[in-house]
Each structure stands twice: as structure tokens, then as C-alpha cells.
Amino acid sequence: MPYLGAKRWLFIGIALAVGFSFLAPQFNQYYLGVVIDVGIAIILAVSLNLINGHTGQFSLGHAGFMAVGGYFAAWLSLEIGGNAKMFFPLSLLAGGLLAALVGLLVGIPSLRLKGDYLAIVTLGFGEIIRVVAQNTEAIGAASGLKGIPKFASLGWTFGFAVVTIYVVTALVNSTYGRGFIAVCDDEIAAESNGVNTTRTKVTAFVTGAFFAGIAGGLYAHHKQFLSPTGFDWLKSIDIVVMVILGAALGELIEGLLRIAFGRVPLKGLWSTFGIIAAAVLLTMMTELLRTFSEYRMIIYALLIIVLMLLSPAWLFSMFNLRRERKLS
Amino acid sequence: MSAPLLELDKATIRFGGLTAVSELSLTVNAGELVGLIGPNGAGKTTAFNMITGVYQPTSGSIRFEGNCTRAVKPSKLAYLGIARTFQNIRLFRTLSVIDNIRVAARLHNPQGYFGALWRGKGWKECEAETEKHALELLEIFNLARHRDEEAISLPYGDQRRLEIVRALATRPKILLLDEPAAGMNPSEKDDLMRLIHFIKERYQLAVLLVEHDMKVVMGICQRIAVLEYGRKIAEGTPKEIQCHPKVIEAYLGAAAV
């Protein structure tokens, strides 16, 4: 069964999200807020994984795209005024599309660069967006955009999270989408075997930017306040950490399954599953550690270092070593 | 007579002060097996990179089926029918064996981005078609039992073969093989010669072969061109090349002539 990500999962997921949203009023408001934070983090991390993970292009611009989508959707809601709630999904889509357009404009020149250079360019792009937001009076400049209506419900957030997960897994698990992974594995070989590598990279970038824009719109209508400082490069790092941790978790799960069953059932889904798990874990951790929030980056840094040292590859080589010793 | 399939006309490439390939003229006709040999650093792989569009010639031209290939992207040239393998194996390491083939066969799968998202009937048929085609290729080349293994976990000889099969999946008209026999033992080299002959006959391909192993080159090529310091010093049948004084000089030194 080579192709995962059948459409029925998409419909089941959306139905579940809508179902839960009817139960939402019963929940404690604080926990509800955290759950929506988690949903937004899932959209961000899964969409960044298409760029950084599957396609292997290290981007640090996700917070920038989130800002573009967030500010635009919020501005639209404020301009529309009374009927804004009816137009909320359209505002979100508009924010996503603008972010995708910006992604296209940034992506075409910068995706010629590789590795560290691409990271620096996307980092610079994020900072430009932040500075522009800080100096544009129409969206509140440095004091931020206030009074955004609270439209980001549980249903909308998880509905879009399900769509994001579906789009990324359905793309990657198809002949077309294997091109993303081929670009990550060997760009020269991909190009000479008929994969237009520039177009593939830009496609991943634009898709990721679109969902980052959606996440930004949800974030704006959840927090009801946007400030340029909320979209600095540390926000991008937050998402990158989720992707790194998630990839490690995914590999760990695949490795454990291989040991348990001798093969990996549902291969091709675990990396996304790991990303979701990481988004949940890290968002909850941020919430739990709110009182020591100034130490958060230190904890993240330590987490990454420990992950690099205890990478699944290393863990499994230890496992194999022990097993070989037992056998001999 | 119809135009040659591939035609290099005084193709020259310079990197700064270094002329890597100088005024190379070479033709390959449909269905022909041509060898390109020369000492290390003679510019054989650079010539390959020019033909496949990785590098643009500084002067001169390259025509494929009569059309100039200047400024055409390598992926587009692959679509038009130029496929290649690499001197150092370049498989997609995290993809399975069949997915390596599938990426190359993707050229002929009309389903794109939205097809993959919508997953309608047409998409399913195209995916099944691509998979069938890939499996057929794997079966012909005896790799089908490895279909779901990671490409990088195959033994060396199988990796070399898989790279050739992957190139074939783009349905080329000409196949450029860059030192396919490198690192192979004598019996593997015999297998490789049979394999090259087989794919040439079965798929009606032209083959341009860069190789250091003289037994392989002399054994299968119909025509051989010899490069030294970026210049073509000789061209002819294997017999002519073997006793060509300039070739002997290039390989063994002037004293040997």
C-alpha cells in the first residue's frame, strides 16, 4: 500500500474538529486557549517541515510569513467591521494567499542559495517584515494592532490543522511529491532525472508560506493583539526546534516499529506524526514554564544539543551493538 | 541522411584561465554506441556536464535532434531524452529502490500538485501506471526483490545498476554513462558489458560511454573519441584507436610510440 493520505482522513479530521468545536463552551477558557495555541503550532511546524524537512531547504523565515498572513487577515477583519465574522474564513485565506505571494517573491531569488546562505537570507527577510510592521501606522506600528475580534475557535484552528497535515502528507506520498525528497537527497541527480529543482523548492516554499499565513491569521484572531516583536527571529527558531525535535521523534518511532515488527507500518506518516507530537509537547512546555520564560531559549538550546548527541541513529547503533554482543 | 541525434560543434568551455574542453566536435547517431576516453582530467566529465546542461559552453554549440540546447535546464533536457549516470553514484539515499525509479518516471506522469492533493480517479490510474512501469524495469534488471529497501543499502554493483535503471525510467533517446565500470571486479564488468548491450538493443538507445577500462570500451563501442587536455586527439573504430600514435603517446608517453 504505497499511497497514504487518502481523502477520507481529511473529511474525518474536519468532522472531528467541527464536532469538538460544539463542545468548546464546556471547557475551561484557559485550557481552551492553550489547545488553540497547540493547533496553531501544529500548522506552523507541519508546514515548515515541508520546506526544512522533506525538501531540505533550511528556512528561518516562517515567523515572517506568519506575520504577513496575520497582519493582513486582522487588518481585513477590522476594516470589514460588523460582518467580519462571516468573512473570517475568507480573511484567513486572503492572509494565507498574501503570505504565499510573498513566499514566491522571496523564494525565487533566494532558493538559488543553499544551506547557511538560505538560512541567512530568510532570517533577513523575517527581520524586514518585522521592521516594516513596526513602522506602518495603518497596522499599529510599534504599539501593535489592537482590538482584533476573537474568531479563532477550536473548530477553525483544528480544521486548518487537519488540512495542513493532509496537504503535506498527501503531497509527499505521491509520485509528484517524491520530487521534494529527491531534491533533499541529491539536487544534481534530481535535476538530471527530470525534476525541475528550482520549481520544486519554490513550490515547497510557497505551500509552507501559505499555511504559515493561515496560522498567522488564526493567531491574530486568537490573541486579539499583534505586535511586531511577537514575530522576531526567535519565533522562527521556536518553529525550527519543533521540526528538529519532531523529525527525531519520527525517526525514533520508525526505528522502534522496525525493531518490533521487522518493518515499518504506515511508513511515510511517522515523520509528520513526530512533528505534531513535538508541536504539542513544546507548546505545553512553554505554557508550563511560563514563570521562567526568560530561560526558555536556554532550555531549547540544551534540548537541541541533547537531541544531536542522543540522535536516534546513535541510539539505534547502541542497540545494535548490544544485540551483536549478545549474539557473539 | 537524417541529422545526428547529438551534435557537438566546436564546444568549448573555460573556467577562468583554464580551458577544460576545447573545440570539441562530436556526433552521436541514433542507436550508436560511442566511447569517450582519455587520461584523468582530459575533460570527459566536463563534456558530459555540457551535454546535459549543467554547464553552458563558453563558445560553440550543442544540438540535440537538431535543436540548440543552450540555456535549456537539465531537467528539460531529461524530458527531451538525454539521461545520464554519475561517476560517483548519486542515488536518492533516503528513498526506496522503487521510489528512486518513480522520481525519474515522474516526467511521464501528467499528474502534478493538485492531482496529488485531489487524488481522483485519473490520479490513481496514473500512479498505478507509473508504479507498473517502475516495477517492470526493476524486474527486467533483477532488482524487484529489493523494491522497498533503501537505495543506499544495496550492494555496490546493484547501486550502479539501479542508477542506470533510473536513467532509463526517464525514457531517454541517448544515455550518457560516466565510468559505469569504476570499482567493479572482472565478472561484474562482463555483466555490465552485457547489460549495456542489452539496453541499447532493447530500448533502441544511443549510448555515450566514458570509461577508463579499455576492455569494456574496446569490447562494446562502435566508435571511440579520445580526449587529451580538453582536445579531441583521435576518433575512430576501436581497432584504429588502439594503434593510433597520438593515443599511445597520450596514455604511455612519447617514448612508447
A240 contacts: CB under 8 Å, gap ≥ 6: A48, A52, A60, A62
B68 and B194 within one domain: yes
**How much is the average pLDDT of A265-292?**
88
Q: Are strands B223-228 and B33-37 parallel, antiparallel or unpaired?
A: parallel
Closest listed residue to residue B163, CA positions, set B189, B185, B192: B192
Does A316 have pLDDT greater than 70?
no
- pLDDT class of A320 with cuts at 50, 70, 90: low
CB-CB neighbors (< 8 A) of A1 in chain B:
none
Listing DSSP states for B76-137 in one string gives: HHHHHTEEE--SS----TTSBHHHHHHHHHGGG----HHHHHH--HHHHHHHHHHHHHHHHH
CB-CB neighbors (< 8 A) of A175 in chain B:
102-103, 105-106, 109, 111, 116, 126-127, 130
B178 and B72 within one domain: yes
A170 touches chain B (CB under 8 A): yes
B240 and B136 within one domain: no
pLDDT for the residue A158: 94
In a domain, B160, yes or no: no
Laid out side by side, the sheet with B33-37 consists of B82-84, B174-178, B206-210, B33-37, B223-228, B231-236
In a domain, B195, yes or no: yes
In a domain, B167, yes or no: no
Residue B41 belongs to domain with CATH number: 3.40.50.300
A83 touches chain B (CB under 8 A): no
Residues in chain A: 328
B62 and B98 within one domain: no
* Boundary residue ending a domain (B155, B183, B208): B155
Look-up of cell digits 528513498: B95
Nearest residue on chain B to A164, judged by CA atoms? Answer: B117
What amino acid is encoded at B173 in this protein? K
**How much is the average pLDDT of A260-268?**
79
Tell me whether residues A174 and B95 touch, CB distance under 8 A. no
pLDDT for the residue A325: 60
CB-CB neighbors (< 8 A) of B84 in chain A:
192
B240 and B130 within one domain: no
CA distance B174 to chain A (A): 13
Beta strand residue intervals within B29-70, DSSP E: 33-37, 59-64, 67-68
CB-CB neighbors (< 8 A) of A171 in chain B:
113, 116-117
Nearest residue on chain A to B72, judged by CA atoms? Answer: A196
CA distance B212 to chain A (A): 22
B75 and B96 within one domain: no
Q: Which domain holds residue B10?
A: 6-81+172-256
Tell me whether residues B91 and A193 touch, CB distance under 8 A. no
B248 and B184 within one domain: yes
In a domain, B166, yes or no: no
Q: Report CA-CA distances (Å) from A131 to A57, A215, B10, B156.
A: 24, 20, 53, 53
A192 touches chain B (CB under 8 A): yes
Nearest residue on chain B to A183, judged by CA atoms? Answer: B92
A85 touches chain B (CB under 8 A): no
B22 and B148 within one domain: no
In a domain, B93, yes or no: yes
In a domain, B164, yes or no: no
pLDDT tens string B201-221: 999 999 999 998 889 999 999
Q: Which residues pair with B174 in a beta bridge?
A: B82, B206
In a domain, B165, yes or no: no
* Boundary residue ending a domain (B155, B186, B213): B155
* Boundary residue ending a domain (B130, B155, B180): B155
pLDDT tens string A174-190: 999 999 999 999 999 99
**Does pTM surpass 0.80?**
yes
The phi and psi torsions of A163 (rounded to 5 degrees) equal -60, -45
Nearest to A192 among B74, B117, B130 (CB): B74
**How much is the average pLDDT of A150-158?**
93
How far apart CA B166 and CA B174 sit, in angstroms, is 14
Nearest to B95 among A170, A176, A182 (CB): A182
CA distance B71 to chain A (A): 14
CA distance A53 to chain B (A): 12
pLDDT for the residue A5: 52
B250 and B184 within one domain: yes
Cα(first)–Cα(last) distance of chain A, in Å?
37
Q: Report CA-CA distances (Å) from A179 to A50, A193, B103, B151, B242.
A: 12, 10, 6, 15, 44
**How much is the average pLDDT of B108-124?**
91
B93 and B64 within one domain: no
B217 and B118 within one domain: no
B33 and B106 within one domain: no
Tell me whether residues A188 and B90 touch, CB distance under 8 A. yes
pLDDT tens string B137-153: 999 999 999 999 989 89
Domain count, chain B: 2
pLDDT for the residue A3: 45
